[in-house]
Structure formats: C-alpha cells, structure tokens
Amino acid sequence: MLGAGVAFSMDGRGRFLDNIFIERLWRSLKYEAVCLHELRDGVEAGRIIGTWMDFYNEIRPHSALSGRTPGEMYRNGARAA
C-alpha cells in the first residue's frame, strides 16, 4: 500500500478491533436514548445525549467491569476484570 500513502500500524493501535468498543457504545446510546425521543433540534439532542452519558458513566453498572461503573473505574484507577 506504499503507493496509496497508507501506513500500517505496528504497535497494535488503530486495529479494526478497537472500533468494537465505540460501535457498542453507539448502539447502546441509539437504542436507549436517541430512538426513544423525538429530537427536534441540536439543543434537545445534546441534553438527551448528555443525560444518557451521565447515566452510562455514573449509574449504569457494566458487566465487563464486574458491576462497577466507568466513573468508578476511572476515579479508582482500577482495571477491568
């Protein structure tokens, strides 16, 4: 791919698997917030998405984090189980 100007990642970053996490987050956001509301404008969308992100990070337990929230993990400097 040298002629196309494509650089290959040799350190594991930028792998296609990295996209799985953001795709899962987007799917949850879409089904748990966006599709449940009639979003009339950007202000309303920002409010609903912001509220959901707060819920996702601070209230909703995550099975991948042994029932903890991402906020707890971040504040405690803990690693996922």
Residue 47 pLDDT grade (very low, low, confident, very high; cuts 50, 70, 90):
very high
Q: Is residue 20 part of a domain?
A: no
Structural domain including 58 reads 41-81
Q: Is residue 60 part of a domain?
A: yes
Q: The tokens 């996702």 sit on which residue?
A: 56
Q: Is residue 55 part of a domain?
A: yes
45 by Cβ neighbours in 10 Å (0-12 / 13-18 / 19+) ranks as middle
Higher pLDDT, 10 or 50: 50
Q: What is the pLDDT of residue 77?
A: 85
Q: Is residue 10 part of a domain?
A: no
For residues 43-70, give the mean pLDDT: 94
User: Does the structure show a pLDDT above 60 at 2?
Assistant: no
For residues 8-37, give the mean pLDDT: 81
User: Does the structure show a pLDDT above 90 at 8?
Assistant: no
Q: Are 63 and 50 within 8 A, CB to CB? A: no
Q: Is residue 26 part of a domain?
A: no
Q: Is residue 11 part of a domain?
A: no
User: How many domains does one find in the chain?
Assistant: 1
Supply the pTM of this predicted model. 0.69
Q: Is residue 22 part of a domain?
A: no
Q: Is residue 50 part of a domain?
A: yes
